[in-house]
Amino acid sequence: MGLNAGLRRTQLYVGTTTQATAAWPIPMLEFAPAMQLVHLSLTNFRNFIRLEMDFQPGTTLVIGPNAQGKTSLLEAIDYLVDAASSRSASDRELINFLVGAEPGAFARIVAEIRRGDQPQRLEIRLIADAGRNGGESRILKEILLNGVRRRAGDLAGVFNAVLFLPEDLRVLEGPPAERRRFLDRTLAQADSAYAQALSEFNRALTQRNALLRHLQDRGGDPGQLEVWDSPLIESAAKLVRTRAVSLAELERLAQPIHASLTRGTERLRLTYRPSGLARASDGQMALPLEDTEDWAARSQVSVADGLRRALAAARPEELARGMTVVGPHRDDFRFLAEGVDLRSYGSRGQNRTAMISSKLAQAEWLYARTGEWPVLLLDETLAELDQARRNDVLERVGRVPQSVWTAADLRLFPPAFLASGTVWELRAGTLSMAQDPIAPDL
């Protein structure tokens, strides 16, 4: 489905101003197809020795004190997207620590997913393989889709989800790598060609960097780099062009959400800064204001030409440093409110609101691009929001076919919202149906 068609289907609520009082359940969009998580099984994942959980369409809320496994539950669901954790760089940390030291230790995630009338079974196993000569064990990853072995790269679009964690502020406030990962992961779910281009770019980058290190250490003919320049530029131009266009689309969706959450006091911008192509605009004595270059309007051929010139200009620096210094692996984008960079000057409240707006826009963008709603995964999302903004978020999420929330404080949710969904209680890795979640004093 093209983006414009998708946006026409979502325009019923993209720009809607939320009322302070909302009624639940909120009617979902008519004829809005969605992916649905039907069942989840966890074995030795984080603090779960064993967990079996059924999911219904609509809202599922998991409550419980902190450090009981609520966030790990969302992490496990999100892991199904691309077999990568949003919270840890090492899969070893995902294996339950009580069994992690045992021979043959493993963790397993099994999910039953429904797309339309088509059920699918996705299983991911993490197996500790004994290291050689007493060394640290390796973690082997096995992925099975309907019983057939797959690679992690084959998961693109199999199960789409959008996860919001409180620590996602690192996307806005942290290094450029965090923002690239946010964008890459979003685009790969909806665009297999982008996922393929990203794989090709990383392969060319690895080979080119190896050659640069060789030239740095041992010398040789720099002309050898031309062998890898062409595949690098070709895949890089695809990435830059797709990132620029998609970020502009995300911005269009995020702006009305952000305007609603801020009561129209701020205008959110997402500005793309491709490495080697963006003009330097930041001065030490001035606020970093938004760029004027519209990268989404540039053609892929124009981007490729610019990258080729940038690589040529950077050749002396690359030979001296032994690494590729220009390309999508060094791109960045910024969140701006009223033209000011939130990474440098935003308050915690501003940044949290901008991140929530971007995550909700990410869900709408995936629907517009794929024709299917992703599953929304929301961890302590209402914390630090006032009542009016809570209602704004609840209303928008209430229109999505399936969402899974976690929270420590049940009082953040209106009784009507609780009555419209399924409420579970999680304590010490054990899940049970919540008893009388609608307390009289709520």
Note the pLDDT of residue 11. Answer: 31
Convert the chain into a string of H (helix), E (strand) and C (coil): CCHHHHHHHHHHHHCCCCCCCCCCCCCCCCCCCEEEEEEEEEEEECCEEEEEEECCCEEEEEECCCCCCHHHHHHHHHHHHHCCCCCCCCHHHHECCCCCCCCCCEEEEEEEEEECCEEEEEEEEEEEECCHHHCCCEEEEEEEECCEEECHHHHCCCCCEEEECHHHHHHHHCCHHHHHHHHHHHHHHHCHHHHHHHHHHHHHHHHHHHHHHHHHHHCCCHHHHHHHHHHHHHHHHHHHHHHHHHHHHHHHHHHHHHHHHCCCCCCEEEEEECCCCCCCCCCCCCCCECCCCCHHHCCHHHHHHHHHHHHHHHHHHHHHHCCCCCCHHHCEEEEEECCEEHHHHCCHHHHHHHHHHHHHHHHHHHHHHHCCECEEEEECCCCCCCHHHHHHHHHHHHCCCEEEEEECCHHHCCHHHHHHCEEEEEECCEEEECCCCCCCCC
Verify cis geometry, omega within 30 degrees of 0, for the bond prior to 231: no
Residues 177 and 208: beta-carbon distance below 8 Å: no
Note the pLDDT of residue 437. Answer: 67
Note the pLDDT of residue 4. Answer: 35
Separation CA 375–CA 35 (nearest Å): 7
Note the pLDDT of residue 138. Answer: 85
Note the pLDDT of residue 88. Answer: 87
Q: What is the CA angle 335-184-90, rounded to 5? A: 105
Note the pLDDT of residue 67. Answer: 86
Question: What residues contact residue 372 under an 8 Å CB cut-off, 6+ apart?
Answer: 33, 34, 35, 115, 160, 366
Note the pLDDT of residue 35. Answer: 86
Note the pLDDT of residue 234. Answer: 96
Note the pLDDT of residue 10. Answer: 32
Separation CA 322–CA 273 (nearest Å): 24
Residues 226 and 278: beta-carbon distance below 8 Å: no
Separation CA 430–CA 331 (nearest Å): 43
pTM of the predicted model, to two decimals? 0.86
Q: What are the per-10-residue average pLDDT scores of the chain (442 residues)?
A: 34 30 41 82 94 94 92 97 91 87 87 90 92 71 96 91 95 95 94 94 96 92 92 96 96 96 94 76 37 80 93 94 96 93 92 96 95 95 90 91 95 90 88 70 40
Note the pLDDT of residue 179. Answer: 96
Note the pLDDT of residue 278. Answer: 59
